[in-house]
Amino acid sequence: MSTKIEKRLYILEIIAIFIVVIILFIFKAWPEYQASLGSSEKMFSNKEYATAIEVKVANGPEFFLVINEKNNLSFIFIENQKTAVLVNQNIEGKNINKAIPEIIEKLIDNHLIENQTITLINYKDDTVFKKVVSLVQSTLNENQTTSQIIEEKSTLQIKAEQENISATQDSEILWELYFISRELMDDIKDTTTTSNEQTSSEKEITEDQAAMYADTIYQKINTYMINAKVKNQNRNNEDMPIQYIPGDNNNEIYPTTSSWYYIKNYKVYAEIGIPSKNREYIFCYNGSQEEKRKGSCS
């Protein structure tokens, strides 16, 4: 066999291997990677944008909702760390009829919205905007929460100027907002657990108080399970990280980093540690609050 033919065959082998690698990446590695991400971390796609609505709570969360042609909430771009309660909560992908009330209820549950002015900014579709305003108002009313709603209208180009984004095309601006959101999410992951535990450990807490805080955290996990209809969930699942769940109304008491829970057949099993200034209180929940005991789970 001539040298030229050998070289051609070698080149064809390399090309074939390269093609196989690309195919495996597209059909196996990439889907697996996407599946490993939380609901708020999915890769952005311009195809999922039909309109957008920004939500700004005075002294509270600020976030940008991307809605597709089917009126499904495609993405939540967070704009400050107070929006951490909405990250990876499996709200994305739902129709706005379900997604918007769920968002407002989570803000209410975390005491981030009551008696605060809520500014809703329309970026395109008036019909969808009116529907979202109505959903926000009705959810506030149902939860007997007092908040004033202010309606505004803007454009992505104005938003770009406010965020010092040099892009002018809608698609480019949306990608920049996505990147800003992902950076904030990474910051939240890096700092929330540490800062929460430091804040909690600065307080002197009695055993009775710790038990009450642990019960509150357990009840919130149970509520999440019921609302999300979660039958089974692994211990290391990050859909609802236990370290982000406050045990008090002031969002100052959080579980220790060693705390964990899992869900099996609609029952929550958990080990919840509450840090105090001089010690840590640990409580074990064996499927219900009634099956609670002091100390680590065996």
Annotate the chain with DSSP letters as a single string.
Answer: --HHHHHHHHHHHHHHHHHHHHHHIIIIIHHHHHHHS-TTSSPP-GGG-SEEEEEEETTS-EEEEEE-TTSBEEEEEE-SGGGGGGTTSS-TTSBHHHHHHHHHHHHHHTTSSTT--EEEEESS-HHHHHHHHHHHHHHHHHTT----EEEEE--HHHHHHHTT----SHHHHHHHHHHHHHHHHHHHHHHHHHHHHHHHHTS---HHHHHHHHHHHHHHHHHHHHHHT-S-B-TT--SS-GGG--SSTTS-----TT-EEEEETTEEEEEEEEE-SS-EEEEEEEESSTTEEES---
Query: Average pLDDT over the chain, rounded to whole?
Result: 84
For 222-232, the pLDDT digits (tens) are 888 887 788 99
Say whether pLDDT at 76 is over 50.
Answer: yes
Tokens, residue 220:
């919130």
Which residues does 82 contact at the CB level (< 8 Å), separation at least 6?
A: 57, 60, 61, 62, 112
The confidence score (pLDDT) of residue 36 equals 41
Tokens, residue 249:
């109304």
Residue 231 or residue 3, greater confidence: 231
Show the 3-state SS of 169-218.
CHHHHHHHHHHHHHHHHHHHHHHHHHHHHHHHHCCCCCHHHHHHHHHHHH
Question: Do residues 92 and 74 lie in contact, with contact meaning Cβ atoms separated by under 8 Å?
Answer: yes
The confidence score (pLDDT) of residue 43 equals 78
Which of 42-51, 62-71, 154-163 is predicted least confidently? 42-51
Q: What is the mean pLDDT of residues 43-64?
A: 92
Say whether pLDDT at 236 is over 60.
Answer: yes
The model scores a pTM over 0.85: no
Residue 29 or residue 246, greater confidence: 246
The confidence score (pLDDT) of residue 210 equals 92
Say whether pLDDT at 7 is over 60.
Answer: no
- The CA distance from 288 to 268, in Å, is 6
Say whether pLDDT at 25 is over 90.
Answer: no
For β-strands 118-122 and 149-153, DSSP reports them as: parallel
Say whether pLDDT at 34 is over 70.
Answer: no
Share of the chain above pLDDT 70, in %: 80
Say whether pLDDT at 30 is over 60.
Answer: no
**Per-residue confidence band for 61, with pLDDT thresholds at 50, 70 and 90:** very high
For 123-180, the pLDDT digits (tens) are 999 999 999 999 999 999 998 888 899 999 999 999 999 999 998 999 999 999 999 9
